[in-house]
Amino acid sequence: MATALTDLSHYDPKGVPDGAGMRMALVVAEWNEEITHALAEGARRTLLHHGVREEDLRVERVPGSYELAPAAKILIDSEPFDAVICVGSVIRGETPHFDYVCQATAKGIMDVNLLTGVPTIFCVLTDDSIGQARARSGGKHGNKGVDCAVAALKMAALRRRVRG
């Protein structure tokens, strides 16, 4: 596993922009809720820790990871956000369904990034087992939600800097 030597929750807080005044959204898949709840909570806590106010953080739930990109686009079209974090978990099963969902989800989230210009962060675990997912959502490898919240803050700050 690529994260075997990485703690997804470890970062240098001095290198993270202040989130004060930033509007953020979390779009969270209900499928594999144990995992997505933990990821979303890690992201939420990190955003709040870095100055994003609770009232500037919108959380929406969708059925599964496949629905993350369309929901992110709907939110971006409805109100101004500095970044959107798409939170999901797809665990390999016995059919190729895993491959289709993972590929469509990744492409959809990238398309939203490119179409809207709003940083749309891929916080989707694509694991072979529930054990791997647990290890990356607050277990021995940390919490990918923390890592993605930091990415959202950095990308939102970059966008603000470039746009003036």
Q: Which residue has the tokens 């490898």?
A: 141
Q: Is residue 107 one of the residues assigned to a domain?
A: yes
User: Which CATH number do you get for residue 80?
Assistant: 3.40.50.960
Cα 122 to Cα 61, 86, 100, 129, 143: the distances in Å are: 15, 6, 16, 19, 14
Instruction: With cut-offs at 50, 70 and 90, classify the pLDDT of residue 5.
Output: low
Residue 97 is a catalytic residue: yes
Task: Determine the average pLDDT of the residues in 106-113.
Answer: 98
Q: Is residue 73 one of the residues assigned to a domain?
A: yes
Terminal CA-CA length for the chain: 40
| Total structural domains within the chain | 1
Q: Is residue 130 one of the residues assigned to a domain?
A: yes
Asked if the model's pLDDT at residue 27 lies above 80, the reply is yes
Q: Is residue 143 one of the residues assigned to a domain?
A: yes
Judge whether 133 and 35 are in contact, CB under 8 Å. Answer: yes
Q: Say what the pLDDT of residue 6 is.
A: 74
Q: Is residue 4 one of the residues assigned to a domain?
A: no
* Tens digit of each residue's pLDDT (9 = 90 or more) over 148-163: 999 999 999 999 999 9
Catalytic residue of the set 10, 37, 50, 97: 97
| Full residue range of the structural domain in which residue 32 is found | 22-163
Rounded to whole angstroms, the Cα distance separating 96 from 105 reads 14
Q: Looking at the whole model, is its pTM more than 0.75? A: yes
Instruction: With cut-offs at 50, 70 and 90, classify the pLDDT of residue 93.
Output: confident
Q: Is residue 2 one of the residues assigned to a domain?
A: no
Q: Is residue 94 one of the residues assigned to a domain?
A: yes
Q: Which residue has the tokens 């694991």?
A: 127
Q: Is residue 8 one of the residues assigned to a domain?
A: no
